[in-house]
Every structure is written in structure tokens, then in C-alpha cells.
Amino acid sequence: MDKIERLINLTACLLETRRPVSYAELKNTVYRGVSKTENAVKRMFERDKDELREMGIEVETVNTEQAGEVAYIIPRDRYYLPHLQLDPDERVALTMVSRLFLGSGTPFSVPAQLALLKLAFEEQAAPAEVPHVHWVDTPRGGELLGEVLDALVRRKTLTFTYRALSGEEPAERTVEPYGLFNKNGAWYLVGFCRLRGDTRSFKLERIVGAVTANQSQPKTPDFDLPEDFDLRSATDWGWPGAGGDHLEAKVLFKARLAFAAAAGGPEPVSRRERADGGLEAAYLVNDPAEFVEWVLGFGPDAVILSPEPLREMVRLKVRSLAGERGRP
Amino acid sequence: MSSKVSERLNRMLLMVPFLAREEGASISDLCREFDIDRATLTQDLDTLQMCGVPDYTPADLMECSVEGDRVRIIFADYFRRPLNLTRQEALTLFVAGSALVRSGVFGRSGALESALGKIEELLSSEGRQELEEVVERIDVEMRAYEGTMREIIDEGLQKGRNLLLEYWSYSRDEVTEREVEPVSLVCSRGYWYLVAWCHSSGDYRLFRLDRIASVELSGAPVSERTRESFSVPRVVGEYKPGKKSHRVRLLFDGGRGRRVVEEWPAATVEELDDGSVRVELRTRNLEWLATYLLKFGPEVSVEGPRELARMVRQKAEAVLAEYT
């Protein structure tokens, strides 16, 4: 008998029954014909029970009248999805949310799809007027995500070989996974690195080979999360220009691309539209190198007007790419 | 996050309630909604027919009947309603919900908050505690989806109306007008894109929202064909360069090169003895690349094609002219 058949039968049996079922009874029904020793069958049952609980199916243990003997049942009111009684706005919101990770190529894809179906069961169909919103991952690094996410939830340490960008030899790290974030499509693990003795971020695609979670005592967490841990402050978040010591820079966007400066990028502190359709915007700059790169992304359609040190950074960068005419 | 067995078990436990309805379920709907092929569905149905309750006589086992495209299961009263949301499902909804609220996709987040509240009540107190703790530790960053154009785009999406776009194509470095049929919003690598059927290209295209110069509603409705043929993986699938693409070779300083390559999954990389990195990629348009390379300054040089080297030089000179 397949494992999956056994798990379905066990679920059906404990769900259909009106009174708790003892192990002795299960042995002669669900586990009948399992050609194993008495102890092996018992262990198999314990693992099956854990697997159902892990999935979110509550298997309740009940003491019977006979001393020392326990029996099991799956309470119906906790097994079945209750009627949620969502109002129309709530239904639209939830449908949008559950669609977000559909087809994203992450461990969230399948749960998102099943959640959507569960919610749609009562409605017969998902509301048609809900706009589709999707989040798409890039494939690299995604394959490790399931393992990392699982260790994060269960608070188990992870061991992997990590290749830092600096080009030094890859080194083995053991990390307590505190948090996980995605920035610009790349997944990062934030955790306490035992090699460095500090909290670090690790880009998943820089991990060489597999990640291994600590297998011993799977039900006991390996570490406590520091009380003051905050994912947002543990990571370098946000656009260049946020936080830190500021330098004010003024940028001219030419008419052709003036809209693009307004639609994306850092938030300007002031802006002035010019008669020729161009846009002058002032920014508070925290990371000059990053800011200069962002402006250069517009090519000659964006020009830093001030301050002079940033203008000089542009010249230094671009001069080497220009031909003879660009050289001083 | 979950093993293959528990994933399949969860799927099958959810499939039965749909199959146990009086009218059964259509095979093609099942395959689409559960995102499985027919062979997998057949396997699942075969397995279900071997399952039931004690004493496992034929009357105790679930029974499938197929009639045309419809399939139905009887003798499965105990599975007539779906299994409650699992922890992973609740976690997924919460992670997605908080990311969407932060990005501003929900104009009114109140409805989402109260809906998530109702979801949270489905969990056991232990599950709720775990969820609250874990949600704080996972974050998917998406740039803000806001601005004046948002209302028009939302209206086009919700009411199925075509949009007239003025769009800056970064790859060709030109601003053009086009009529599109909007179907979806996609967040990829942190950026929001409008996915739409583009009349001038005769195919689905992704339009990065911050590159849309202007947007207006057109009178025409989105066609049924567009809605029906849309699927996320097909539209957002990996870019396959055509025959007309250019083969580009770039030489980067070591660290910088390795970082760049992470942004271009399709590129091939060769590490040279002096620590520098040679990157080879294919692209249909060189215009975007010429602008893109400016930010690397002395850390990059173009090995080929010569046309690109010339374009980079011209762009660099045009930028320098603005700084003299």
C-alpha cells in the first residue's frame, strides 16, 4: 500500500468515526496487511500522525477508560474549512492576495494555488472582476528557498558553502536563519553567522551547492530569535537617498524623459518644471556612487547640475569610455 | 516547505470535495485549476478509488465515475468539504498580503486586513502564534505602485477596457504610442509591469510602469481571446533571443562582473587569470546596453561588436558634453 493511500485512509478513518479509535483498532484496519514487525508498524503510525499534524490536520489524542490506553480522532469542526462569511470587498482582496504567488516559482506557488481553490470552493468560482496581480521570481536561488524557508519556520540552523562577491575562496557557514527577504527579485537570508560571529545577509544564488538543515531534534528549535530583531533594520533597505548623512543634489531631466524621473526612483525633495518641458529635481543623496549610477541610467537625458563633486564623479566614470574627443 | 507527499495529499483532499458535488467536475477544469496534467489527475483518481474507511469492502471505498469530460466521486461524504487552510497556505496569504499592502496595490487596505483577520481565526492558537512570529521575518520588497496613472490603469484592468500608452522602450531608447489590451499587473525583480496584448507587436508585452509616459482609456473593450489566452508563465517566460540578436562580449573587473552576471541569468561567464570576468550575452537591441554600460565607467570594456563599442563611445561623449 502506498504511503499516500495510507495517509488518506488514516485521515478518512479518524474523521468519519464518531468515537476515538485506539491504536489496536487502527492496526487491524488502516494498517492491516502492512507486512512489518509490530514495532515497525507502531513507528509508522507515529510518523504518519506527525505528518498529518505537520500539514495542519489536527489528530487529537484522547484518554480512554482503560488505563494507559489512548485513542485518536480528528475533530470535524477543526478539519473542515469553516464558512468564512467574507463580504464582497474582503473576497476581492483575498483573491488578489492568493493569486500573487501563483506561478512565481517559489515554495509559495502551490500553497497559493490551493488556498485560492479552498476559498473559491464556496463561491463556485473566483470573482471575475478581480484584477490579476502576480509576482514573478527569477529561477536562480529559488530551488534552495524551500529548504531555507522550512528551517526559518522551525528555527533550525543551516549549513552551506558561500561564495562572497569579493572573490575569496568559498567558505562553509553555519547560520541561524532569522529572516528572509526578496529585493529586486533576489532572495536573501538574514541570520547569525557562526563563522563571523555577527548577523549577516546571504544572497541565495551565491550559495554553492545545497543547504543542509540541522537534522537532530527536528521538533526543537536550535536558537532563539533576538528580541530586538527587526528585518527592516537588519537589512540595507530602500532607495539611495534614504537615511544617513545627506548631500543635496540637483538633477535636470530633459523633456523627453522627464516623466520617467517622476514615475520611479528616489523621492525628490523639490521639483520644478521648466518651460521647455524639462524637469529640475533636487534629491537628498546618501550613497553618491549609487546615485550617480542611477542618473547615468538615463544617458545624456539626465544631468547632475550640482554639487560639483558628483559632477566630477560622472566625468571620471564616463571619460574612460569616451573616445579621444572626450579626453582632456 | 512541504514534502512531495504532503503536497499531493493536500491536493487530493481538496480535489475530493469538488468531485463529490452532485454535478461532479470537468476534467479540463480540474487540470487547469490544480495545475496538473491529465496523467497526474488519472493517477490521483486511481489512488482515491483504493481509499476509504474500514472495513474496506467495495461499498466503503470511494468510487469514481467518468461521463464524457465530467468525473464524479461517490461514497466520500467525510471529504465533502475542503480541509481547513494549512499553515503554509495561511503563511503564504499573509506574506503576500503584507507585501501588497506595503506596495500600495490596495487602495483601501481595510478589507484585506479584516479578511486576513478571518483567516487567522481559522488557525489553532499554536498555529496563530507561529504565523505571527514568522510573518515578521519574511519580506518581499515591491516598489510602490502609485501615481496618477494608476487609477486609469486599474480602471482598464477592472472594466476590461483598452489603454492608449505612450511608452519609453528602454531597449530601443525611443518613446512610441500604442494601443494595448490590459490583462494583469506583474511584479518582477521589484518593478511593476503592466501585462497587455499589444496591437502594434501582435503579442503580449510587459510595460514597466515607470516607463509609461502617459496613459488614456480607449473606447474599445479587451477581447475575450486576450483574456483567455493569457497565462503568466507563458508571457513572463524566459527571454529567448531570436536569430537577429547581437552577440555581445564584455570585459568587467572581477567583483563588478560577478555582480552584473547575477542580473543576467542568460549570460555566460568566463573568469580570466587576471581576475577579470568576460561576459557573453545575446540581445536584440544594442541601444539600451550602450546606456546601461555608462555606469560601469572604467570597470567595463566592450570586446564586441564594434557597433556597440562605437555607441558606448558616442553616449559617453554626449554625457561628457553636458558636464563641461
ipTM: 0.77
Are A7 and B9 in contact (CB < 8 Å)? yes
Interface test with B, best of A29, A114, A230, A252 (most B CBs within 10 A): A114
Q: B26 - beta bridge partners?
A: B70
Read off the pLDDT band of A133 (50, 70, 90).
confident
CA distance B181 to B196: 5
Note the pLDDT of residue B236. 60
pTM for the model stands at 0.78
The confidence score (pLDDT) of residue B1 equals: 44
Given a cut of 50, is residue A96 above it in pLDDT?
yes
Domains of chain A: residue spans and CATH = 3-79 (1.10.10), 83-136 (no CATH), 142-223+230-234 (2.30.30), 247-326 (3.30.70)
**Percentage of chain B with pLDDT > 70?**
91
**Angle formed at CA B3 by CA B98 and CA A38, multiple of 5 degrees:** 140
Q: For residue B14, give the chain A residue with the closest CA.
A: A118
pLDDT, residue A251, reads 93
Q: Are A229 and A179 in contact (CB under 8 A)?
A: yes
The answer to whether residues A302 and A295 touch, using CB atoms and an 8 Å cutoff, is: yes
Residue with more model confidence, B244 or B27: B27
Contact flag A317-B295 (C-beta cutoff 8 Å): yes
What is the average pLDDT score of chain A?
A: 84
Residue-wise pLDDT tens digits, A140-192: 666 788 888 889 988 999 999 998 766 677 889 999 999 988 887 788 899 99
Of A11, A263, A300, which has the smallest distance from its Cβ to B209's Cβ? A263
Please determine, for residue A68, whether its predicted confidence score (pLDDT) is greater than 80: no
Q: Is A109 exposed, middle or buried (0-12, 13-18, 19+ CB in 10 A)?
A: middle
A131-140, A316-325, B132-141: range with lowest mean pLDDT: A131-140
* Lookup result for grid cell 496591437: B199
C-alpha cell at B6: 504532503
Q: What would the pLDDT profile of A262-277 be if each residue is shown by its tens digit?
A: 666 777 888 898 898 8
| Gap between the Cα atoms of B255 and B258, Å rounded | 5
Q: At what angle do helices B87-103 and A88-99 cross, to 10 degrees?
A: 100
Q: Best residue in B49, B135, B319, B323 to probe A by mutation, most A CBs within 10 Å?
A: B319
**Per-residue model confidence as pLDDT tens digits over B251-280:** 998 777 777 777 776 778 888 888 888 998
Residue with cell string 537615511: A243
Does A56 contact B87 at a Cβ distance shorter than 8 Å? Answer: yes
Report residue A239's pLDDT band, with 50, 70 and 90 as the boundaries: very low
Q: Is A314 helix (H, G, I), strand (E, B) or coil?
A: helix
pLDDT at A244: 47
Chain A: residue nearest B110 by CA? A90
Instruction: With CA atoms as reference, report the closest residue to B269 among B256, B283, B286.
Output: B256
Contact list, B298 vs chain A (CB under 8 Å): 317, 320-321
**Which chain B residues are within 8 Å of A12, Cβ to Cβ?**
51-53, 78-79
For residue A316, CA distances in Å to A196, A298, A310, B167, B313 come to 36, 17, 10, 32, 14
Task: Output the pLDDT for position A236.
Answer: 57
Beta-bridge mates of residue B44: none
pLDDT band at A238 (very low <50, low <70, confident <90, very high): very low
Chain B nearest CA to A34, separation (Å)? 15
Q: How far is B243 from chain A (nearest CA, A)?
A: 24
Compute the count of residue pairs across chains A and B with CB atoms less than 8 Å apart.
Answer: 356
Q: Is A71 helix (H, G, I), strand (E, B) or coil?
A: strand
pLDDT of residue A48: 94
Cα A107 to Cα A110: distance, rounded to the nearest angstrom: 7
SS3 A206: helix
Rounded to the nearest angstrom, the minimum Cα separation between A243 and chain B is 18
Please answer whether residues B302 and B292 qualify as being in contact, where contact means their C-beta atoms are separated by less than 8 angstroms. no
Average pLDDT for chain B: 85
Of B149, B236, B300, the CB nearest to A136: B236
Chain centroid to Cα B129, Å, comes to 30
Alpha carbon distance, N-terminus to C-terminus of chain B? 57
What confidence tens digit (pLDDT) does each residue in B206-236 have? Answer: 888 888 888 999 888 887 776 666 666 566 6
The rounded distance, in Å, linking the Cα atoms of A221 and A155 is 5
Check A81 against B186: CB less than 8 A apart. Answer: no
Q: Which three cell numbers stand for residue A151?
A: 528551517
Q: What is the pLDDT of residues B57-106, one digit of tens each?
A: 888 899 988 888 899 998 888 999 999 988 889 989 998 888 888 777 77
Average pLDDT for A32-48: 88
